[in-house]
Amino acid sequence: MKNIPNLENIIIAHRGNHNSKIPENSLLAFKTSLKENRPIELDVQLTKDNVLVVFHDYNLLRMTNQNLFLQDLTYSELKEINLLNTNEKIPTLKEVLSLINGKVLLDIEIKNTKRITDTCKELLNELQNYPNNYLVKSFNPLIVFWFKKNAPNIPRGLLIMDNYTNNKLINIIVKSKATIKLCTPDFLAISKKMLKQKKWQKYQEKLPILIWTIKSRQEITYKNKNIGYICNIPFETQDT
């Protein structure tokens, strides 16, 4: 039986607890989150040699000052690169899973990729013996559908934003009722400004909804039922 965590009023650390000295999606950011017993959101993608690593951007430039694409590199090449001006490296998912070990809820975003099957299979393999305290989600409906078809007992979510591309047709299709029905997500994750739209308020009555990305305490309202929050933590750092 599928175990869907209670997401109402949950506050999830977006890419771990990070600031100017602690890089996002780093082992240090996740250790800091664990000290607060804070649920963690992170991003995964596959290296050229099929190692799942935890990193948000497709290009390394913003976080490493190296103008390289992650999915074009092997893991051995990635290991030589530091995150920002720290000694932190881009961690493997295996390292992160070993660190967290089910202690807090893990919200795993699967980055878009041309290697959907390889990425999803490798993630499923990594999660095989992991404690049952995690979610998977993606902006790509085909990735969410893959989990519906191949791992239906894993809680899955569909990420939705206002505009994916400049192509109006793609934007309509991705956010359509038909696409949502096809994926049959257990929850939705939408940008905070979309919550004001009636369409998504109606979904709130049917499914748990995670709101991203919250940057201050003032943006959180506990009046909304069935809603959790993906937040930049600590607020004190991100607010300034």
Question: Of 135, 133, 139, whose CA–CA distance to 151 is shortest?
Answer: 135
Question: Which tokens in the block code for residue 189?
Answer: 């994750």
CA distance linking residue 15 with residue 113, whole number of Å? 19
Q: Catalytic residue numbers? A: 14, 56
How far is Cα 215 from Cα 137, in angstroms, rounded to an integer? Answer: 21
Task: Report the chain's C-alpha Rg in angstroms.
Answer: 17
The rounded mean pLDDT for the chain is 94
For 170, what's the count of Cα atoms within 13 Å in the CB-facing half-sphere?
9
The residues, ordered by sequence, that sit 6+ positions from 235 with a Cβ below 8 Å of its Cβ are: 215, 216, 217
Contacts of 119 (CB under 8 A, 6+ apart): 44, 45, 46, 52, 110, 113, 143
CA within 13 Å, CB half, 96: 34
Provide the pLDDT for residue 236.
61
* pLDDT tens digits along 26-76: 999 999 999 999 999 999 999 999 999 999 999 999 999 999 999 999 999
Q: What is the pLDDT of residues 97-135, one digit of tens each?
A: 999 999 999 999 999 999 999 999 999 999 999 999 999
pLDDT of residue 186: 97
pLDDT band with cut points at 50, 70 and 90 for residue 4:
confident
CATH number of 11-239: 3.20.20.190
Beta-bridge mates of residue 40: 13, 106
Residue 239 has pLDDT above 50, yes or no: no
Residues 135-144 have a mean pLDDT of 97
Mean pLDDT (whole number) for 180-208 = 93
